[in-house]
């Protein structure tokens, strides 16, 4: 759990400083806060053990694992999907506002950022797994017996990023048409 919270602490320290120097829209800040909240929940329980079945049972009257025939805890996949979904908007804004990247190219840049960072995270996770004791590595990595875990995690980030791009492009076009009276 300690290793999982290192990024959380770093973000909580850096966020006020960066937000003052490089403000983003409320939508982008909400995306970042939502992702941080998901990560905090995952880190709190160590991703593989997030009790979403108990929560679903209380809310909906059934367990997600039984209902969908899961063989593992999928909270980490939700977080990887959410990474793609929730980081495209802030990355796009930062590219346009602070790096003066043309808007159309910023879509591509935000998408590539999500894919590259997702891959980098999986490589760091793999490196930590090699450095840690086997029991600690398994708990940190959350592979849960799936030899394709890293590839699936990156795929979920990709799917989230594609969805975020579609939403961003559609909402931006809608605003542009509304602003120009079309």
pLDDT of residue 173: 85
**Structural domain count, the chain:** 1
Domain region containing 145: 2-44+74-179
Residue 83 lies in a domain: yes
Cα dist from 181 to 16, 55, 169, 176, whole Å = 38, 46, 18, 9
Half-sphere exposure of 133 (CA within 13 A, CB side): 2
Identify whether 58 is part of a domain. no
User: Do the domain assignments include residue 156?
Assistant: yes
- Whether 153 is covered by a domain: the verdict is yes
| 34 assigned to some structural domain | yes
Do residues 140 and 109 make contact, with C-beta atoms less than 8 angstroms apart?
A: no
The answer to whether residue 66 is domain-embedded is no
Does 65 map to a domain?
no
Task: Please give the structure tokens belonging to residue 20.
Answer: 């003052």
Place of tokens 């973000």: 11
The pLDDT assigned to 60 comes to 95
**Low-confidence stretches of the chain (pLDDT beneath 70):** 1, 135-143, 145, 176-182
Residue 64 maps to a domain: no
At residue 7, the pLDDT reads: 82
């Amino acid at each position: 759990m300690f290793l999982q919270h290192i990024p959380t602490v770093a973000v909580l320290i850096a966020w006020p400083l960066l937000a003052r120097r490089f403000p983003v829209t409320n939508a982008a800040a909400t995306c970042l806060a939502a992702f941080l909240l998901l990560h905090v929940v995952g880190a709190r329980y160590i991703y593989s053990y997030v009790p979403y079945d108990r929560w679903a049972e209380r809310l909906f009257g059934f367990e997600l694992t039984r209902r969908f025939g899961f063989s593992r805890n999928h909270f980490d996949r939700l977080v990887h999907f959410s990474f793609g979904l929730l980081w495209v908007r802030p990355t796009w804004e930062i590219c346009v506002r602070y790096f003066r990247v043309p808007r159309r190219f910023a879509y591509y840049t935000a998408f590539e950022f999500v894919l590259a960072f997702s891959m980098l995270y999986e490589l760091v996770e793999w490196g930590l797994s090699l450095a840690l004791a086997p029991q600690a590595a398994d708990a940190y990595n959350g592979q849960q017996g799936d030899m394709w875990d890293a590839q699936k995690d990156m795929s979920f980030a990709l799917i989230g990023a594609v969805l975020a791009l579609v939403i961003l492009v559609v909402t931006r076009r809608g605003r542009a048409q509304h602003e120009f009276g079309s």
